[in-house]
Amino acid sequence: MIGITTRKTDSELFGRSKWWGFPDMPEELEYPEVPVNVDGELYYDPLTFVCQIRCADLAPYDPEGLLPHEGMLYFFAALDYFLGNLDADVAPGMGEWNPQYFKVLYSPTCENLHTHSIVYEDGTPACLPAEEILFGGSESYTCLLGKPYFEEVREAAPGMVSLLQIDENDDWGLRFFDSGMLNFLISKKNLASCKWQEARCYLHSF
């Protein structure tokens, strides 16, 4: 397990590991969106950018080489409702999520990246401020690799690795119903083959 903590910073986080903010991606990766039907009209809502992980940062904490040690991993999920927007058109519930509600992307390089910014009509950023990611400590329930915290998730996805586990956080206003956690899950076989498109997502709470 690789623990994740974050801290606010004034440093430039472009191309570095960061939580929230906007993703820095190569042009060939498209920002993922979820189709939404409201009163018979279809539109596409951008998924919330959760974090980008510069894989080189993981090498000291991943001696088995379970994750790539170069390139960048990106995590997106439909989190607007859980960040306090109770009127969000997309609000996934408990249990396993439909694949359209989350996405794991990977770039084999950290070069030629471009920031994909999404803003509201008034020009303000449609995201929380980016925070620096610190890796290592085992005291955090927000972490990479390891087993899901909840037994119910382990039973629903036997043998799968928790690629990323996200715990609630009052500083972000992030709540998963009643003390819940969100897990990005992947089989050991697909993890070894870097088949990120085969990841699953599961929400559980007390």
d(CA 164, CA 147): 10
Number of Cβ atoms within 10 Å of the Cβ of 165: 25
Alpha helices in the chain (DSSP H): 151-156, 188-192
pLDDT the model gives residue 138: 65
Do the Cβ atoms of 174 and 82 come closer than 8 Å?
Answer: yes
Number of Cβ atoms within 10 Å of the Cβ of 127: 17
pLDDT the model gives residue 198: 96
d(CA 68, CA 191): 10
Weakly modelled stretches of the chain, pLDDT under 50: none
Q: What's 32's domain CATH number?
A: 2.30.320.10
Q: CA angle at residue 4 from 185 to 143, to 5 degrees?
A: 20
pLDDT the model gives residue 142: 96
Domain membership of residue 178 as a residue range? 2-204
d(CA 117, CA 102): 18
Number of Cβ atoms within 10 Å of the Cβ of 21: 19
The pTM score is 0.95
pLDDT the model gives residue 18: 97
Q: Say whether 76 sits in a helix, a strand or coil.
A: strand
Q: Say whether 194 sits in a helix, a strand or coil.
A: coil
Please tell me the total count of domains within the chain. 1
Residue 18, Cα to own-chain centre: how many angstroms? 11
